[in-house]
A and B are shown apart, each in its own frame.
Chain A
Amino acid sequence: MAEARTRTIKADYLARVEGEGAMYVRLRGDEVLDVKLRIYEPPRFFEAFLRGRSFMEATDITARICGICPVAYQTSAAQALEDACGATVDGQLRALRRLIYCGEWIESHGLHVYMLHAPDFLGYESAMEMARDHPEIVERGLRLKKAGNALIALVGGREVHPINVRPGGFYRVPTKAELGRLVDTLERAREDALETVRWAAGLEFPKLDLEHEVVALRSETDEYPIDDGRIVSDHGMDIAASEFDDTFVEEQVPHSNALHCRIRERGSYLAGPLARFTLNFDRLSPLARDAAVDAGLDGACRNPFQSIVVRSVEILYAFDEALRVIAEYEPPDRAAVELEPGPAIGFGVSEAPRGLLYHRYEIDGEGTIKDAKIVPPTSQNQAAIEQDLYAFVAQHAGLPDGELSLRCEQAIRNYDPCISCATHFLQLDVERE
């Protein structure tokens, strides 16, 4: 028998992801020898230069980790620092925090569903090219995204790196009338979101069912998790944010500028929309839950290619939740809770669009940050992405190189990886011997 040919399939510059990464797959015949998600985005060292800064600056600084999900960074940071100060932000201030976060889910998921992921399913290089044949689809996506951005800009001052979020709450809270003016826009966009779920459900999904342990927040109230909750998994994990470091470990691998995060003694896991949905299906609003069921998802979703449907369901939920918050809004007396720093360590978690985002800060009596640790969702998902690629290539090794490479890229885009976040973090090489 002739020696099996070895081949490499690779993408040196992954497109339609946030940040710089590469994919590398090496095969001998149909046997997968190696899979690497290589992250060459240059590191920016946020955890290092947070040392010596005032705790009040952490929301402005950590926002700059990611231009797509700054509100997630601001929220996890604010909550960790409030925890360190022994303060609680609740009532309408917490509702506002949830409201701006809904805007970010809509903007970030809308960007991913329509501009980054949809072209893979419909066979285009970009949303702009897709718009020539399917203008109504792309225009719907742009309307959704615009509504999400309008929400962020109203509460936060602007879409990217909002200026109005601080530890303790906000600098200024909106009036009832200001929020009221958004209701029509949000209600119309909610119709677009419902249509998005129906459309996404009709796409064709390559088969891939994986048994990752799924990890997400679960709220102690009856809400779908956005801004807080306990960290739970389908393998019985149920911990507070303060137990994160005892449960998870970050490891450095030579081929990545992003640390890989694993569950101690158990290994890789999956965070993000699939995990949130699987663990919190019962917490969706009736409209979002019914839409998910009609889309064929009735409680758990294990095929990462269907994440586009789950993101669409979460967009719908976010509109529902935003409209609920606005309907119940009464401006609070103060824009922020007073914080009195003392020497302490604080922990904060929230559900960034791409998954669990953990922050820990140690501060001194003056409120100066002595140590910071930030674990973004994409570094948690790197190992899972590599496993998906491995499983997918093993099942589809017979595809021609070009097609295989495209499908592998799609498998990576299933995660909406944010490499800018994870570098502290992507490029695809498929190599065949």
Chain B
Amino acid sequence: MDGERKPRLAVWKFASCDGCQLSLLDCEDELLALADRIEIAYFLEATRAAVDGPYDLSLVEGSITTEADAERIREVRRLSKRVVTIGVCATAGGIQALRNFADVEEFVSVVYATPDYISTLATSTPISAHIPVDFELQGCPIDKRQLLEVISAFLADRRPAIAPHSVCIECKRRGNVCVMVAHGTPCLGPVTHAGCGALCPTYDRGCYGCFGPMETPNTASLSEWMGGLGLETPDLVRKYRQMYNAAEPFRSESEALERG
């Protein structure tokens, strides 16, 4: 027997669209090399094989929206040396956290004729609300290069090198003209976490915040600026209530705007 066991990777899904775990299968150039270096011990979307834990690294996609899932995530923590949450659903509750601002029973009745069959919690919450998490990788969806960096870092026992600055810095690096200053297009870039490579401004649209709040964002100031471009309060509220609606800085700004 060779003494060096390959590190064991597990990928878990909770309430989500599957897009973030798909990012791993989208690493077409790296996937087979990765599968040589690590043991993909549990990854239901990709394999029937299910190796029992413990696992060295668990990647978790999705938010907690049922009692059963709240219990399952505690089991994932017990089985995992490191837990890394990937994407907005796991790190901030996802777009489905919009229910947190509404009456969930009404939501159920809009979609289902017999709501009694449906089992769901009143809220959609991030994984960190239930268990300690070792690292949170942001994005809706996550960026696959950042995912490879995170996996490599944890397997090498170092912190991932993921920049916490805003999308504005990425725009400057790409040499983009500022869509807000030059074209008057409302843009969440100044308060949004980098990682996408400033995609939206590169495609002539304003950032819609799909990597979530940056470190210490000045949302109040940005709301002033966007108000100056003609956005009314309900428009501003909706700007912060997209994929990262439940992330604290965006949630509190949208609520402050509503209070007036």
Interface residues of A (CB under 8 A from B): 13-20, 41-49, 51, 53-54, 57, 60-61, 64-68, 70, 111, 115-116, 119, 125-129, 131, 135, 138-139, 142-143, 145-146, 149, 157-161, 163-164, 166, 170-172, 251-252, 254, 257, 259, 335, 409, 418, 420, 424
Contacts and interface: CB of A to CB of B under 8 A. Distances in A.
Given A45-B110, A48-B107, A149 B48 contact: no
Given A49-B102, A143-B28, A159-B26, A64 B17 contact: yes
Contacts of A111: 22, 25
Nearest to A170: B203
A129 B49 contact: yes
Given A159-B26, A252-B114, 11 more contacts: A15-B48, A45-B96, A51-B110, A60-B242, A111-B22, A127-B46, A128-B46, A158-B141, A158-B199, A171-B205, A252-B113
Interface of B: 13-23, 25-26, 28-29, 31-32, 35, 40, 43-50, 65-66, 69, 94-96, 98-99, 102, 104, 106-108, 110-114, 117-118, 120, 124, 140-141, 196, 199-200, 202-205, 208, 210, 235, 238, 242-243
Contacts of B204: 171-172, 335
B53 to A, nearest CB: 15
A68 B19 contact: yes
A131 B35 CA distance: 10
B32 A163 contact: no
A149 B96 contact: no
Contacts of B102: 48-49
Contacts of A171: 200, 203-205
Given A15-B44, A57-B238, A149 B25 contact: no
A111 B26 CA distance: 9
A251 B204 CA distance: 42
Given A44-B15, A128-B47, A164 B108 contact: no
A318 B107 CA distance: 38
A131 B20 CA distance: 23
A108 B198 CA distance: 26
Contacts of B35: 128, 131
A128 B22 contact: no
Given A42-B15, A142-B31, A160 B26 contact: yes
A106 to B, nearest CB: 12
A173 to B, nearest CB: 10
Contacts of A161: 19, 140-141, 210
A109 B18 CA distance: 16
B237 to A, nearest CB: 10
B217 to A, nearest CB: 20
Contacts of A157: 199-200, 202-203
Given A45-B110, A160-B23, A125 B99 contact: no
A64 B95 contact: yes
5 contacts: A45-B107, A67-B18, A128-B35, A142-B28, A172-B204
A158 B196 contact: yes
Question: Which of the listed residues A16, A139, A170 has the most CB atoms from chain B within 10 Å of its own CB?
Answer: A16
Contacts of B17: 64-67, 420
A143 B32 CA distance: 12
Contacts of A259: 112
Nearest to A107: B26
A47 B111 contact: yes
B111 A126 contact: no
A146 B18 contact: no
Question: Which of the listed residues A61, A64, A111 has the most CB atoms from chain B within 10 Å of its own CB?
Answer: A64
Given A145-B28, A160-B23, A171-B203, A45 B111 contact: yes
B110 A48 contact: yes
Nearest to A157: B199
